[in-house]
Amino acid sequence: MNLFRDIESAIRRLPRNVWVVTAASFLTDVSSEMVFNFLPLFLANVLGVRLGIVGLIEGIAETTASIVKMYSGWFSDWLGKRKWLTIAGYSLSTVAKPFLFFAGTWVGVLAIRFTDRLGKGIRTAPRDALIADSVSEKRRGLAFGLHRAGDTAGAALGLSIALFVVWYVQGLKLELGRETFQLLALISVIPAVLAVIILIVGVKEIGGTKTSRESPSVSFKGLGRGFGTFLLSVIVFTLGNSSDAFIILRAQERGLNLVGIISMLIVFNLLYALVAGPAGALSDRINRRTMIVVSWLAYAVIYAGLALANSAWHVWVLFAIYGIYYGSTEGVSRALVADLVGADRRGSAYGVYNAAIGFSVLPASVIAGLLWQGIGSWQGLGASAPFIFGAAMALLAAGILFFLPGFGGRVSTSNTAFLE
């Protein structure tokens, strides 16, 4: 119980920027999760798109975001400013959402998803650097954990709204209807606009030191050997970490109706939100690298379970547990990046980190789609194949991070450091 009392005390001392950015992320996820979670179902159920195309769309969208994060992070370092790049990214994603109402082809969906992820790419690295700049090192894990918790609580609320809309419009039907998706797209615009307003009014710029004009690149130059080791393990892991769209489709393939899928997503996000804050605070006390290795091992078990699942409730339960995994790693990984590099290179480091993930996400999602359809020696495994592959890559990544020498950053703190 002391941990939770200590967390409560430390939370009260977090600066305004952390709370404002968390509120904006909360509202943005209310908006995004009520509509983008249903894109794979819209593509498959309404537009009749093959799973290889679904994987391609998700891969291109996420890769775009991650590549842009590299440049926006470097640019924020060069400017020594984070606020307006963050706001520009949130604004672009907001502008894209209303066009989902008119989407009638997979190419149109790709263009909208591309624009939304472009906005995410612009905002993410400067936003993460803004959070890191605003807090002391001793409370960094807590700040990122709180941000992820707020972000994910927004996702849970957005999905709850979606659950009501789906139930009201189409009841317990297995597949998503066009009218339902269009209504969700319109409603999603409201919280997205509110998020941008909150950022404009509430965020305070944290003056930083400008870096040189050297162009960004996906390299470890100047970022340290420990960062390079971590990045290598993340790339390997991401190659097996295909879009969660495939888990949603797996649930439907196992017979889960749309209301059941939404309830599954809500529980996932609630568990994510509950775990993220304490996990971030715990990482301020113990070894962050060990926490990530253990989480990746848990991921491998979950994905193996998804491969073996033979009924809808198996997928439902495993996806809920998957929320605990996410809550235990997302904020911790971002805090570890800040641990491993200096403040003047922090935006660039977040950019390179996200770009490396992005370069891996495209092949990961395409591979998952092709494996599901059955290629080469994977024929006959069907929908189980991408999950078997993901579990194997998670085990490999955990081994790299745990055993590879040269991890050069601070990965642990004293038991009371984050309270100082």
Residue 91 lies in a domain: yes
In this structure, what token pair is assigned to residue 95? 């502008």
Residue 244 lies in a domain: yes
Residue 178 lies in a domain: yes
Residue 395 lies in a domain: yes
- State the average pLDDT for the chain: 81
Choice among 75-89, 219-233, 234-248, 382-396 with the minimum mean pLDDT:
219-233
What span, in angstroms and rounded, lies between the C-alpha atoms of 54 and 47?
A: 11
* Confidence band of 412 (pLDDT split at 50, 70, 90): very low
* Confidence band of 218 (pLDDT split at 50, 70, 90): very low
Residue 249 lies in a domain: yes
Which percentage of the chain shows pLDDT scores above 90? 28
Indicate whether 348 pLDDT > 50: yes
CATH number for the domain that contains residue 82: 1.20.1250.20
So what's the pLDDT on residue 374? 65
As a whole number, mean pLDDT of residues 103-117 equals 91
Residue 291 lies in a domain: yes
Among 298, 282, 364, residue whose Cα is nearest residue 331: 282
Residue 9 lies in a domain: no
pLDDT tens-digit series, residues 351-368:
778 778 877 877 888 888
Instruction: Give the count of domains, the chain.
Output: 1
pTM of the model: 0.70
Kindly report the CA angle at 386 between 40 and 260, in degrees rounded to 5?
Answer: 45
Indicate whether 399 pLDDT > 80: yes
| DSSP category for residue 336 | H
What span, in angstroms and rounded, lies between the C-alpha atoms of 58 and 245?
A: 8
What span, in angstroms and rounded, lies between the C-alpha atoms of 387 and 242?
A: 9
Residue 197 lies in a domain: yes
As a whole number, mean pLDDT of residues 191-209 equals 86
Which domain, by its residues, includes 127? 15-205+213-407
In this structure, what token pair is assigned to residue 278? 């304490």
For the chain, helix, strand, coil in percent to 5 are 80, 0, 20
Which percentage of the chain shows pLDDT scores above 70? 86
So what's the pLDDT on residue 405? 57
Indicate whether 260 pLDDT > 90: no
Q: What does residue 380 show for φ and ψ, rounded to 5 degrees?
A: 95, -20
Choice among 133-137, 156-160, 268-272 with the minimum mean pLDDT:
133-137
So what's the pLDDT on residue 209? 53
